[in-house]
Amino acid sequence: MDTRDHPEEARLSGRLNWLRAGVLGANDGIVSVAALVVGVAAATPGNDTAILTAGIAALAAGALSMGVGEFVSVSSQRDAEKAQLARERRWHVERPEWELAQLVRLNTETGMSEETAQVAAREQTAKDPLAIHALMHLGIDPDELVSPLHAGIASLVSFLAGGIVPLLMIVLVGPAWQVPATFATVVVMLALTGVISATLARSGRPRAVARNVLGGSLALAITYGIGAAVGVAV
């Protein structure tokens, strides 16, 4: 379904995109923080101070990086959308008939007859020409522009929410079980985010879960191996 032809569908798609971004942010937090603390634990077994320090640093740096990166990225997107809307607004003043003809063509592409498309285009233009052109021509809802601040905060919070769990697990469990318990926790969390992301995308859950779990497990295994090698070398 083309969201340009269905405003409510466009808004729902936008909200789902935010939810997927949140899940991805949490996923990044889980893997990056867990991988780092597992690597430090392998290099300095039983040194809770070093593990906690590294984990907090990873949590703070990762969350801030995600937040700032998302803010900058969405700011660029919003600037581009506002520039496109400004051009549409100017064109409606300079060439209204051309814009009307374009709207008729866009309507016919949805399956309307030429006659129906003409009537619909005139009614749509009479109501709000900028909004309908922005939605159908650009895929932008002028009332639903992305918020850089909201995006940055959402990414920061989701990263923190994902990363705090493996960090707490590795510092609260005894030295003998730190790595296995953290690994098991990460596997469960990645399976959960895999299910959520697949549900939001309406795709196959087994594949999403397997991809998440295998990728995260590989990251933890690699950093653990590097940490163990560094610890032995030092």
Break the chain into its structural domains and give their ranges.
3-233
> What pLDDT, on the 0 to 100 scale, is given for residue 4?
44
Decide if pLDDT at 81 tops 90.
no
Return the structure tokens found at 201: 């995308």
Could you identify the residue written with the tokens 């009614």?
123
Short-list 207, 219, 178, CA closest to 27: 219
Q: For the whole model, what pTM was predicted?
A: 0.74
* C-alpha to C-alpha distances, 192 to 25, 115, 187, 188, 206, nearest whole angstrom: 14, 51, 9, 6, 11
* 58 vs 56: CA distance, rounded Å: 5
pLDDT-based confidence at residue 221 (cuts at 50, 70, 90):
very high
Decide if pLDDT at 138 tops 80.
no
Is 158 in contact with 18 (CB distance < 8 Å)?
no
> What pLDDT, on the 0 to 100 scale, is given for residue 58?
93
* Rounded average pLDDT over 15-43: 84
- Low-confidence winner among 51-60, 128-137, 162-171 (lowest mean pLDDT): 128-137
